[in-house]
Amino acid sequence: MMFTVKKMMMKSLLVCSVAALSFTSCDGGGQPNTLTEQEKADGWQLLFDGTTMTGWRDYNGTSLTEPWHVVDGCIQAKGDGSDASGYIVTDKQYENFELSWDWKLSKGGNSGMLYHVVERPQYKVPYVTGPEYQLIDTPNFPEKLEDWQDMGADYAMYVPDKAKMKVNPQGEWNNSKIVFDNGHVEHWLNGVKIVEFEAWTEDWFARKNSGKWNDAPEYGLARKGVLCLQDHGYPASFRNIKIKELPRKNKEVNLFNGKDLDGWQAYGTEKWYVKDDLLICESGPDKQYGYLATREYYDDFDLTVEFKQEADGNSGVFIRSFIEEGVKVNGWQVEVAPKGHGTGGIYESYGRGWLIQIPKEKEEFLKVGDWNTMRILVQGDKVTTWLNGQEMVNFQDDKIGAGQGRIALQIHDGGGIKVLWRNLKLKTL
Protein backbone atom coordinates (compact mmCIF):
# COMPACT_ATOMS: atom_id res chain seq x y z
CA MET A 1 0.00 0.00 0.00
CA MET A 2 1.29 3.46 -0.86
CA PHE A 3 0.37 6.27 1.49
CA THR A 4 2.57 8.53 3.52
CA VAL A 5 0.74 8.04 6.82
CA LYS A 6 2.35 4.61 6.98
CA LYS A 7 5.58 6.08 8.30
CA MET A 8 5.71 4.55 11.73
CA MET A 9 6.92 6.04 14.99
CA MET A 10 9.92 4.51 16.75
CA LYS A 11 7.72 2.43 19.03
CA SER A 12 5.96 0.83 16.07
CA LEU A 13 9.29 0.17 14.38
CA LEU A 14 10.46 -1.63 17.50
CA VAL A 15 7.34 -3.80 17.44
CA CYS A 16 8.00 -4.66 13.77
CA SER A 17 11.61 -5.50 14.56
CA VAL A 18 10.51 -7.88 17.29
CA ALA A 19 7.93 -9.39 14.94
CA ALA A 20 10.64 -9.94 12.36
CA LEU A 21 12.61 -12.08 14.81
CA SER A 22 9.71 -14.51 15.05
CA PHE A 23 8.82 -14.33 11.38
CA THR A 24 11.61 -16.30 9.77
CA SER A 25 9.91 -19.62 9.17
CA CYS A 26 8.07 -20.22 5.91
CA ASP A 27 7.06 -23.78 6.70
CA GLY A 28 3.59 -24.60 5.56
CA GLY A 29 3.47 -28.25 4.59
CA GLY A 30 3.28 -29.77 1.12
CA GLN A 31 5.79 -29.06 -1.59
CA PRO A 32 5.85 -25.31 -2.21
CA ASN A 33 7.41 -23.72 -5.27
CA THR A 34 6.65 -26.65 -7.56
CA LEU A 35 4.22 -27.21 -10.42
CA THR A 36 2.10 -30.28 -10.98
CA GLU A 37 2.24 -32.00 -14.34
CA GLN A 38 -1.23 -30.66 -15.08
CA GLU A 39 -0.17 -27.10 -14.27
CA LYS A 40 2.81 -27.45 -16.58
CA ALA A 41 0.52 -28.74 -19.33
CA ASP A 42 -1.82 -25.78 -18.76
CA GLY A 43 1.01 -23.30 -19.25
CA TRP A 44 1.82 -22.26 -15.67
CA GLN A 45 5.34 -21.06 -14.91
CA LEU A 46 7.08 -20.54 -11.58
CA LEU A 47 8.41 -17.06 -10.82
CA PHE A 48 10.36 -18.20 -7.75
CA ASP A 49 12.41 -21.38 -7.59
CA GLY A 50 12.35 -21.63 -3.79
CA THR A 51 16.10 -21.23 -3.47
CA THR A 52 17.38 -18.11 -5.23
CA MET A 53 16.20 -14.65 -6.25
CA THR A 54 16.84 -15.45 -9.91
CA GLY A 55 14.46 -13.51 -12.13
CA TRP A 56 14.01 -10.63 -9.67
CA ARG A 57 15.83 -7.28 -9.43
CA ASP A 58 15.43 -3.73 -8.16
CA TYR A 59 12.77 -1.53 -9.71
CA ASN A 60 14.52 0.56 -12.39
CA GLY A 61 17.65 -1.48 -11.73
CA THR A 62 19.71 -4.22 -13.31
CA SER A 63 20.51 -6.23 -10.17
CA LEU A 64 19.07 -6.97 -6.75
CA THR A 65 20.20 -4.67 -3.94
CA GLU A 66 16.91 -4.07 -2.11
CA PRO A 67 16.27 -5.73 1.28
CA TRP A 68 14.91 -9.09 0.11
CA HIS A 69 16.29 -12.59 0.68
CA VAL A 70 15.32 -16.28 0.59
CA VAL A 71 14.41 -17.95 3.89
CA ASP A 72 13.12 -21.53 4.23
CA GLY A 73 11.80 -21.70 0.68
CA CYS A 74 10.15 -18.29 0.52
CA ILE A 75 11.00 -14.81 -0.65
CA GLN A 76 11.08 -12.58 2.38
CA ALA A 77 10.97 -8.81 2.69
CA LYS A 78 13.18 -7.90 5.62
CA GLY A 79 11.01 -4.92 6.53
CA ASP A 80 13.63 -2.30 5.73
CA GLY A 81 11.74 -0.72 2.83
CA SER A 82 9.71 2.47 2.68
CA ASP A 83 7.37 4.35 0.38
CA ALA A 84 10.40 5.40 -1.70
CA SER A 85 12.32 2.12 -1.74
CA GLY A 86 12.14 -1.62 -1.24
CA TYR A 87 10.53 -2.66 -4.54
CA ILE A 88 11.64 -5.68 -6.56
CA VAL A 89 10.38 -6.59 -10.02
CA THR A 90 10.44 -9.50 -12.42
CA ASP A 91 12.91 -9.51 -15.28
CA LYS A 92 10.08 -10.27 -17.71
CA GLN A 93 7.06 -8.18 -18.63
CA TYR A 94 3.56 -9.66 -18.63
CA GLU A 95 0.41 -8.53 -20.41
CA ASN A 96 -2.59 -10.84 -19.88
CA PHE A 97 -2.33 -13.49 -17.21
CA GLU A 98 -3.49 -15.43 -14.18
CA LEU A 99 -1.08 -14.81 -11.30
CA SER A 100 -1.25 -16.84 -8.09
CA TRP A 101 0.89 -16.60 -4.95
CA ASP A 102 0.92 -17.46 -1.24
CA TRP A 103 1.71 -14.77 1.28
CA LYS A 104 2.16 -14.25 5.01
CA LEU A 105 2.51 -10.92 6.83
CA SER A 106 4.00 -9.83 10.11
CA LYS A 107 1.64 -8.41 12.72
CA GLY A 108 0.19 -5.16 11.39
CA GLY A 109 2.09 -5.84 8.17
CA ASN A 110 1.65 -4.02 4.89
CA SER A 111 2.77 -5.06 1.41
CA GLY A 112 1.39 -5.54 -2.09
CA MET A 113 1.64 -7.17 -5.49
CA LEU A 114 1.75 -4.73 -8.42
CA TYR A 115 1.46 -5.50 -12.12
CA HIS A 116 1.86 -3.69 -15.46
CA VAL A 117 4.58 -1.65 -13.77
CA VAL A 118 6.52 0.61 -16.17
CA GLU A 119 10.21 1.30 -15.61
CA ARG A 120 11.49 4.71 -16.67
CA PRO A 121 13.88 7.16 -15.02
CA GLN A 122 10.99 9.60 -14.73
CA TYR A 123 9.17 7.22 -12.37
CA LYS A 124 10.87 6.99 -8.99
CA VAL A 125 8.33 4.53 -7.59
CA PRO A 126 6.34 1.81 -9.36
CA TYR A 127 2.89 2.58 -8.01
CA VAL A 128 2.43 5.69 -10.18
CA THR A 129 2.09 3.32 -13.15
CA GLY A 130 1.13 -0.16 -11.90
CA PRO A 131 -2.11 -1.20 -10.17
CA GLU A 132 -1.74 -2.95 -6.82
CA TYR A 133 -3.41 -5.90 -5.13
CA GLN A 134 -3.32 -4.65 -1.53
CA LEU A 135 -1.89 -6.93 1.16
CA ILE A 136 -2.34 -5.72 4.72
CA ASP A 137 -3.03 -7.12 8.17
CA THR A 138 -6.18 -5.06 8.62
CA PRO A 139 -7.14 -6.19 12.18
CA ASN A 140 -3.71 -5.33 13.57
CA PHE A 141 -2.81 -2.32 11.46
CA PRO A 142 -2.13 0.62 13.82
CA GLU A 143 -4.01 3.24 11.79
CA LYS A 144 -7.54 3.59 10.46
CA LEU A 145 -7.89 2.33 6.91
CA GLU A 146 -10.21 3.56 4.18
CA ASP A 147 -12.11 0.89 2.23
CA TRP A 148 -9.83 1.45 -0.76
CA GLN A 149 -6.81 0.69 1.44
CA ASP A 150 -8.21 -2.55 2.81
CA MET A 151 -6.99 -6.08 2.26
CA GLY A 152 -7.52 -7.33 -1.30
CA ALA A 153 -8.47 -3.96 -2.75
CA ASP A 154 -7.37 -2.75 -6.15
CA TYR A 155 -5.57 -0.05 -4.26
CA ALA A 156 -7.29 3.37 -4.37
CA MET A 157 -9.65 2.15 -7.11
CA TYR A 158 -11.94 -0.82 -6.39
CA VAL A 159 -12.87 -2.18 -2.95
CA PRO A 160 -13.33 -5.85 -2.09
CA ASP A 161 -16.61 -7.52 -1.20
CA LYS A 162 -16.03 -7.92 2.52
CA ALA A 163 -18.92 -10.38 2.87
CA LYS A 164 -16.95 -12.85 0.75
CA MET A 165 -13.54 -12.31 2.32
CA LYS A 166 -12.05 -15.09 4.41
CA VAL A 167 -8.58 -14.10 5.59
CA ASN A 168 -6.55 -16.54 7.62
CA PRO A 169 -5.23 -15.13 10.92
CA GLN A 170 -1.99 -13.18 10.94
CA GLY A 171 1.02 -15.49 10.78
CA GLU A 172 -0.78 -18.09 8.63
CA TRP A 173 -0.51 -18.50 4.88
CA ASN A 174 -3.09 -17.06 2.49
CA ASN A 175 -3.42 -17.42 -1.27
CA SER A 176 -4.21 -14.60 -3.68
CA LYS A 177 -4.79 -14.51 -7.40
CA ILE A 178 -5.03 -11.74 -10.00
CA VAL A 179 -6.66 -12.35 -13.35
CA PHE A 180 -5.98 -9.74 -16.01
CA ASP A 181 -7.60 -10.72 -19.30
CA ASN A 182 -7.56 -7.93 -21.90
CA GLY A 183 -8.92 -5.39 -19.41
CA HIS A 184 -11.12 -7.74 -17.40
CA VAL A 185 -9.73 -7.85 -13.85
CA GLU A 186 -10.42 -10.17 -10.94
CA HIS A 187 -8.94 -10.36 -7.43
CA TRP A 188 -9.25 -13.69 -5.61
CA LEU A 189 -8.49 -14.48 -1.96
CA ASN A 190 -8.27 -18.05 -0.67
CA GLY A 191 -10.29 -19.37 -3.60
CA VAL A 192 -13.03 -16.72 -3.54
CA LYS A 193 -13.43 -13.82 -5.98
CA ILE A 194 -13.58 -10.57 -4.00
CA VAL A 195 -13.07 -7.88 -6.68
CA GLU A 196 -14.11 -7.71 -10.34
CA PHE A 197 -14.04 -4.79 -12.78
CA GLU A 198 -13.22 -3.70 -16.32
CA ALA A 199 -10.14 -1.51 -16.82
CA TRP A 200 -10.21 1.57 -19.07
CA THR A 201 -13.99 2.01 -18.99
CA GLU A 202 -15.73 5.29 -18.19
CA ASP A 203 -16.14 4.12 -14.61
CA TRP A 204 -12.45 3.22 -14.37
CA PHE A 205 -11.32 6.60 -15.69
CA ALA A 206 -13.75 8.42 -13.39
CA ARG A 207 -12.19 6.68 -10.39
CA LYS A 208 -8.66 7.30 -11.63
CA ASN A 209 -9.23 10.99 -12.24
CA SER A 210 -11.10 11.78 -9.04
CA GLY A 211 -8.95 10.14 -6.39
CA LYS A 212 -5.37 9.36 -5.47
CA TRP A 213 -4.23 8.96 -9.09
CA ASN A 214 -5.51 12.28 -10.40
CA ASP A 215 -1.94 13.62 -10.43
CA ALA A 216 -0.48 10.40 -11.84
CA PRO A 217 -1.40 10.71 -15.54
CA GLU A 218 0.04 7.33 -16.59
CA TYR A 219 -1.35 5.26 -13.70
CA GLY A 220 -2.91 2.01 -14.85
CA LEU A 221 -2.69 2.74 -18.58
CA ALA A 222 0.07 0.30 -19.52
CA ARG A 223 -1.15 -2.91 -21.11
CA LYS A 224 1.99 -4.79 -20.12
CA GLY A 225 4.76 -4.43 -17.58
CA VAL A 226 6.80 -6.11 -14.87
CA LEU A 227 5.37 -7.58 -11.69
CA CYS A 228 6.44 -5.94 -8.46
CA LEU A 229 6.63 -6.97 -4.79
CA GLN A 230 6.74 -4.33 -2.10
CA ASP A 231 8.73 -4.07 1.13
CA HIS A 232 6.92 -1.25 2.88
CA GLY A 233 8.67 -1.39 6.22
CA TYR A 234 7.18 -4.67 7.42
CA PRO A 235 8.46 -8.25 7.09
CA ALA A 236 6.45 -10.25 4.55
CA SER A 237 6.92 -13.66 2.95
CA PHE A 238 5.90 -15.05 -0.43
CA ARG A 239 6.01 -18.46 -2.07
CA ASN A 240 4.33 -20.47 -4.82
CA ILE A 241 4.47 -17.46 -7.13
CA LYS A 242 3.26 -18.74 -10.47
CA ILE A 243 1.76 -17.28 -13.63
CA LYS A 244 -0.12 -18.45 -16.69
CA GLU A 245 -0.07 -16.05 -19.63
CA LEU A 246 -3.29 -15.46 -21.55
CA PRO A 247 -3.62 -14.48 -25.24
CA ARG A 248 -4.10 -10.94 -26.46
CA LYS A 249 -7.43 -10.16 -28.09
CA ASN A 250 -7.10 -7.70 -30.96
CA LYS A 251 -9.75 -5.15 -31.82
CA GLU A 252 -10.64 -2.31 -34.17
CA VAL A 253 -10.95 1.17 -32.67
CA ASN A 254 -12.44 4.35 -34.08
CA LEU A 255 -10.35 6.95 -32.24
CA PHE A 256 -12.52 9.91 -33.27
CA ASN A 257 -16.33 9.76 -33.18
CA GLY A 258 -16.88 12.90 -35.30
CA LYS A 259 -18.85 14.57 -32.51
CA ASP A 260 -16.58 15.44 -29.60
CA LEU A 261 -13.20 14.71 -27.99
CA ASP A 262 -14.42 11.66 -26.08
CA GLY A 263 -11.48 9.31 -25.44
CA TRP A 264 -8.89 12.09 -25.70
CA GLN A 265 -7.16 14.38 -23.23
CA ALA A 266 -5.72 17.80 -24.11
CA TYR A 267 -2.41 19.05 -22.70
CA GLY A 268 -1.36 22.67 -22.98
CA THR A 269 -3.31 25.81 -23.86
CA GLU A 270 -3.55 25.35 -27.63
CA LYS A 271 -6.94 24.76 -29.26
CA TRP A 272 -8.56 21.38 -29.94
CA TYR A 273 -12.18 21.30 -31.06
CA VAL A 274 -14.70 19.59 -33.33
CA LYS A 275 -16.46 21.37 -36.17
CA ASP A 276 -18.32 19.99 -39.18
CA ASP A 277 -17.43 16.42 -38.13
CA LEU A 278 -13.71 17.28 -38.19
CA LEU A 279 -11.13 17.27 -35.41
CA ILE A 280 -9.28 20.59 -35.58
CA CYS A 281 -6.06 21.67 -33.93
CA GLU A 282 -5.15 25.34 -33.95
CA SER A 283 -2.54 27.52 -32.30
CA GLY A 284 -3.76 29.54 -29.35
CA PRO A 285 -2.60 32.94 -28.09
CA ASP A 286 0.25 31.38 -26.10
CA LYS A 287 1.78 29.93 -29.31
CA GLN A 288 3.21 26.97 -27.41
CA TYR A 289 3.33 23.24 -27.98
CA GLY A 290 -0.02 21.52 -27.55
CA TYR A 291 -1.04 17.87 -27.52
CA LEU A 292 -4.19 15.83 -27.74
CA ALA A 293 -3.52 12.32 -26.43
CA THR A 294 -5.61 9.19 -26.27
CA ARG A 295 -6.66 8.22 -22.77
CA GLU A 296 -5.57 4.66 -23.46
CA TYR A 297 -2.28 3.07 -24.48
CA TYR A 298 -1.82 1.49 -27.90
CA ASP A 299 1.42 -0.37 -28.43
CA ASP A 300 1.25 -2.60 -31.53
CA PHE A 301 -1.21 -1.25 -34.08
CA ASP A 302 -2.07 -0.34 -37.65
CA LEU A 303 -3.34 3.26 -37.72
CA THR A 304 -4.73 5.31 -40.57
CA VAL A 305 -5.49 9.02 -40.27
CA GLU A 306 -6.50 11.69 -42.76
CA PHE A 307 -5.22 15.23 -42.37
CA LYS A 308 -5.46 18.53 -44.20
CA GLN A 309 -2.98 21.29 -43.43
CA GLU A 310 -4.11 24.88 -43.28
CA ALA A 311 -1.79 27.78 -42.48
CA ASP A 312 1.60 26.42 -41.41
CA GLY A 313 0.45 22.83 -40.84
CA ASN A 314 3.35 21.85 -38.58
CA SER A 315 2.06 18.93 -36.51
CA GLY A 316 2.62 15.22 -35.99
CA VAL A 317 1.34 11.88 -34.71
CA PHE A 318 3.10 10.61 -31.57
CA ILE A 319 3.32 6.88 -30.95
CA ARG A 320 3.98 5.02 -27.67
CA SER A 321 4.12 8.35 -25.86
CA PHE A 322 3.59 9.35 -22.24
CA ILE A 323 2.89 12.60 -20.43
CA GLU A 324 5.62 14.25 -18.41
CA GLU A 325 5.79 17.54 -16.54
CA GLY A 326 2.21 18.51 -17.22
CA VAL A 327 2.38 19.38 -20.92
CA LYS A 328 5.48 17.71 -22.29
CA VAL A 329 4.93 14.51 -24.27
CA ASN A 330 7.75 12.00 -24.45
CA GLY A 331 7.77 9.52 -27.30
CA TRP A 332 8.28 9.17 -31.02
CA GLN A 333 6.65 11.41 -33.57
CA VAL A 334 5.66 10.61 -37.11
CA GLU A 335 6.10 14.02 -38.68
CA VAL A 336 3.25 15.98 -40.26
CA ALA A 337 4.72 19.19 -41.68
CA PRO A 338 4.68 21.54 -44.68
CA LYS A 339 6.23 20.27 -47.89
CA GLY A 340 9.98 20.06 -47.63
CA HIS A 341 9.97 19.28 -43.91
CA GLY A 342 9.77 15.49 -43.79
CA THR A 343 6.17 14.36 -43.43
CA GLY A 344 6.28 10.64 -42.66
CA GLY A 345 9.72 10.68 -41.02
CA ILE A 346 10.27 9.69 -37.39
CA TYR A 347 11.50 12.12 -34.74
CA GLU A 348 12.31 11.37 -31.10
CA SER A 349 10.96 14.08 -28.83
CA TYR A 350 13.79 13.70 -26.33
CA GLY A 351 17.42 12.75 -26.75
CA ARG A 352 18.15 11.71 -30.32
CA GLY A 353 16.07 14.02 -32.50
CA TRP A 354 15.54 12.78 -36.04
CA LEU A 355 15.76 8.99 -36.20
CA ILE A 356 15.01 8.70 -39.89
CA GLN A 357 14.02 11.29 -42.49
CA ILE A 358 12.28 10.66 -45.76
CA PRO A 359 14.20 10.90 -49.07
CA LYS A 360 13.80 14.32 -50.67
CA GLU A 361 12.05 12.90 -53.72
CA LYS A 362 9.22 11.62 -51.49
CA GLU A 363 8.28 15.16 -50.46
CA GLU A 364 6.15 15.28 -53.62
CA PHE A 365 3.70 12.74 -52.19
CA LEU A 366 2.30 15.38 -49.80
CA LYS A 367 -0.85 17.06 -51.16
CA VAL A 368 -0.72 20.74 -50.25
CA GLY A 369 -4.11 22.22 -49.34
CA ASP A 370 -5.86 18.87 -49.77
CA TRP A 371 -6.62 15.78 -47.72
CA ASN A 372 -3.79 13.32 -47.13
CA THR A 373 -3.89 9.77 -45.77
CA MET A 374 -1.19 8.67 -43.36
CA ARG A 375 -0.77 5.03 -42.36
CA ILE A 376 1.43 4.06 -39.41
CA LEU A 377 2.22 0.41 -38.70
CA VAL A 378 3.89 -0.23 -35.32
CA GLN A 379 4.81 -3.76 -34.35
CA GLY A 380 7.55 -4.58 -31.86
CA ASP A 381 10.63 -2.54 -32.71
CA LYS A 382 9.55 -1.81 -36.29
CA VAL A 383 7.70 1.28 -37.58
CA THR A 384 6.58 1.70 -41.17
CA THR A 385 4.83 4.80 -42.49
CA TRP A 386 2.95 5.50 -45.72
CA LEU A 387 1.68 8.78 -47.15
CA ASN A 388 -1.09 8.58 -49.73
CA GLY A 389 -0.24 4.96 -50.41
CA GLN A 390 3.52 5.51 -50.79
CA GLU A 391 5.93 4.02 -48.26
CA MET A 392 7.88 6.81 -46.59
CA VAL A 393 10.12 5.05 -44.03
CA ASN A 394 10.70 1.53 -42.71
CA PHE A 395 12.63 1.71 -39.45
CA GLN A 396 13.67 -0.58 -36.60
CA ASP A 397 14.83 0.66 -33.19
CA ASP A 398 15.37 -1.06 -29.83
CA LYS A 399 14.17 1.93 -27.80
CA ILE A 400 10.93 2.12 -29.73
CA GLY A 401 10.57 -1.62 -29.27
CA ALA A 402 10.83 -1.24 -25.50
CA GLY A 403 8.38 1.68 -25.37
CA GLN A 404 4.66 1.77 -24.81
CA GLY A 405 2.14 4.52 -24.45
CA ARG A 406 -0.48 6.76 -26.00
CA ILE A 407 -1.14 8.08 -29.46
CA ALA A 408 -1.03 11.87 -29.47
CA LEU A 409 -1.54 14.64 -32.01
CA GLN A 410 0.70 17.69 -31.78
CA ILE A 411 0.56 21.41 -32.41
CA HIS A 412 4.07 22.81 -32.89
CA ASP A 413 5.03 26.01 -31.11
CA GLY A 414 5.41 29.33 -32.89
CA GLY A 415 1.76 30.03 -33.69
CA GLY A 416 -0.12 30.21 -36.96
CA ILE A 417 -0.79 26.45 -37.17
CA LYS A 418 -4.05 24.81 -38.15
CA VAL A 419 -4.57 21.17 -39.14
CA LEU A 420 -7.82 19.29 -39.78
CA TRP A 421 -8.14 15.58 -38.95
CA ARG A 422 -10.69 12.88 -39.74
CA ASN A 423 -11.10 9.09 -39.99
CA LEU A 424 -8.66 8.11 -37.26
CA LYS A 425 -9.01 4.33 -37.34
CA LEU A 426 -6.82 1.80 -35.58
CA LYS A 427 -6.45 -1.97 -35.45
CA THR A 428 -4.57 -3.45 -32.51
CA LEU A 429 -2.10 -6.20 -33.37
Q: Where are the domains of the chain?
A: 4-245, 252-428
> Which of these, 122, 202, 112, lies nearest to 405 by C-alpha position?
122
pLDDT category of residue 273 using cuts at 50, 70 and 90:
very high
8 A C-beta contact, residue 198 and residue 207: no
Which of 3-12, 316-325, 388-397, 417-426 comes out lowest in average pLDDT? 3-12
> Which of these, 176, 150, 174, 172, lies nearest to 161 by C-alpha position?
150
pLDDT for 80 beyond 60: yes
H/E stretch holding 39? helix 37-42
Looking at residue 371, its pLDDT comes to 98
- Rounded CA gap, 44 and 154, in Å? 24
Looking at residue 26, its pLDDT comes to 62
Looking at residue 313, its pLDDT comes to 84
At residue 202, the 3 state secondary structure works out as helix
> Which of these, 254, 201, 205, 199, lies nearest to 224 by C-alpha position?
199
Looking at residue 9, its pLDDT comes to 35
Q: pLDDT tens, 98-146?
A: 999 999 999 999 999 999 999 999 999 999 999 999 999 999 999 999 9
pLDDT for 280 beyond 80: yes
- Rounded CA gap, 300 and 429, in Å? 5
Mean pLDDT, the chain, whole residue set: 92
Q: Which residue has the higher pLDDT, 14 or 265?
A: 265
Looking at residue 22, its pLDDT comes to 40
pLDDT for 367 beyond 50: yes
The amino acid that residue 395 corresponds to is F
- On the CB side of 241, how many CA atoms lie within 13 Å of its CA? 24
Give the homologous superfamily in CATH for domain 4-245: Exo-inulinase; domain 1 (2.60.120.560)
pLDDT for 7 beyond 80: no
The amino acid that residue 120 corresponds to is R
Domain 252-428 has CATH 1.10.3210.10: no
4-245 and 252-428 agree in CATH topology:
yes
